[in-house]
Amino acid sequence: MGRITRKNKSSWRKDVDITDVETFLEGERQNERIGNVALKPDTELFAVDRADTERASLKTSRKAKFQQNPKFCWSLENTSKVSDPIVKRNVKVKKSSAPSGRKVKTTALVRPKAVRSKTNLFNVDIWENENTTTKTAPAHKKQSTVPNVEVPAAGSSYNPAIDDYNELKQAVVSRELKYIKHVKHLERTVTAKFTKLSKEDREEMIHKEMSEGLFDNNEEAESDNSDNEKEYSAINPPVRNKKKDRKTRTRKIVAVRKRAAELQVKHEIKKLKDIASIPKLNSEINKMQSKTKQKQTNRVARAEEKSKLPRRVAYMKFEEAEEDFAEPTELADGLRTILPNKSLLVDRFKSFQKRALIAPKKHRDGIRRTNKSTLKKWKRFTLASHKAT
């Protein structure tokens, strides 16, 4: 073996046998993991078999197995005897049953379970306060606040009071007048604006529009020839390079300085006016803030009113059903002679449409197949099938 250099630290580490040190350290680590066998008592290393011991019952053994950790958790258990190097660790400590004077902070995610005695389980009225559930957990907000079953008007009863009946009658009359006013508005603004033409007048109008400008080409050609015959003449006079003298330049410099001074004076005057108008600006700002608050409150009120109205979920708008109103001559004198004004099935369908559970549609029954405008609106298609030839 040649000469070995000992110049650097890396050279000292080369060609050195440290197997004895590694063996000793490995033994120390093994003792830390499983413990030193020489220091353990005999009760942990040996067990004495006794024949007179009572055998545990099947129920007891099953109960003991149930309390043990399952097999799939064995790999997660820490069997090492090495102490934790980090002493101050965030370890969850079990709370003692003894009451303490210190208050425990509760977050929104972890909350203590409510302690309720078994005798007081059914003594609380959960319908007494509707906001009890919203305090503990966020409630689901409905998109539409339309009730599932609407209470009918008091005047639609078979034997209504005179005031309720008159109130319902007034509502029906106002709704009908509103509809008539809308129809008259469409008649006045749309239908009356379009005049009806006969077939001959329409053809004559089309012929006149299509032939517009076809018979005036000769006059335009003559005017173009007369314009070409005119001689060319310049509109603007020729430009001459006339230099400015010293007096003119001095006058221009003085005018520029005077204009700058005037602008400076105007700027200072504007500053004074702005300072004087501060109270007026403050009043305007207060008015704007009050208007903004009023708009916010109006927006919230409109949102609440909008939540009570049916939402649009299809191309067709929801149409409110007519009021269940009976004429005075149609009022029954008893339950035996009463006749239902509307179907319960139709009422439920209207309720589904109003709550946006189903899309409102129009039935296609009774449509005349000869009406082309109707056929464009309701176009039918034949479903392709393997049976089609």
Q: How far apart, in whole angstroms, are the C-alpha atoms of residue 114 and residue 93?
A: 20
Which pLDDT band holds residue 97 (cuts at 50, 70, 90)? low
In a domain, 328, yes or no: yes
Report if pTM > 0.75.
no
Q: What is the mean pLDDT of residues 32-42?
A: 81
Categorize the per-residue pLDDT at 276 as very low, low, confident or very high, splitting at 50, 70 and 90: very high
Residue 223 forms part of a structural domain: no
Q: Which residues, in sequence order, are CB contacts of 367 under 8 Å at separation 6+? A: 374, 375, 378
Residue 352 located in a structural domain: yes
CA distance 26 to 20: 10
Q: Considering the domain boundaries, does residue 345 fall inside one?
A: yes
Q: Which two tokens stand for residue 304?
A: 């609440």
The verdict on residue 314 lying in a domain is yes
Summarised one tens digit per residue, pLDDT across range 105-124 is 444 444 555 555 555 556 66
Are 311 and 355 within 8 A, CB to CB? no
Residues 355 and 314 both lie in one domain: yes
pLDDT reported for residue 225: 63
Q: How many angstroms separate the CA atoms of 77 and 70, rounded?
A: 11
Provide the domain count of the chain.
2
In this structure, is residue 322 part of a structural domain?
Answer: yes
Range of the domain at 280: 273-307
Residues 183 and 314 in one domain: yes
- Do residues 325 and 345 both lie within one domain? yes
**Do residues 327 and 286 both lie within one domain?**
no
What's the average model confidence in pLDDT over 266-293? 93
> What pLDDT, on a 0 to 100 scale, did the predictor assign at position 377?
53
In a domain, 232, yes or no: no
pLDDT tens-digit map of 318-370: 888 888 888 888 777 777 777 777 788 888 888 888 888 888 876 555 555 55
**pLDDT for the residue 118:** 53
| CA 170 to chain centroid | 40
Q: How many CA atoms lie within 13 A of 58 on its CB side?
A: 0
Q: Are residues 162 and 297 in the same domain?
A: no
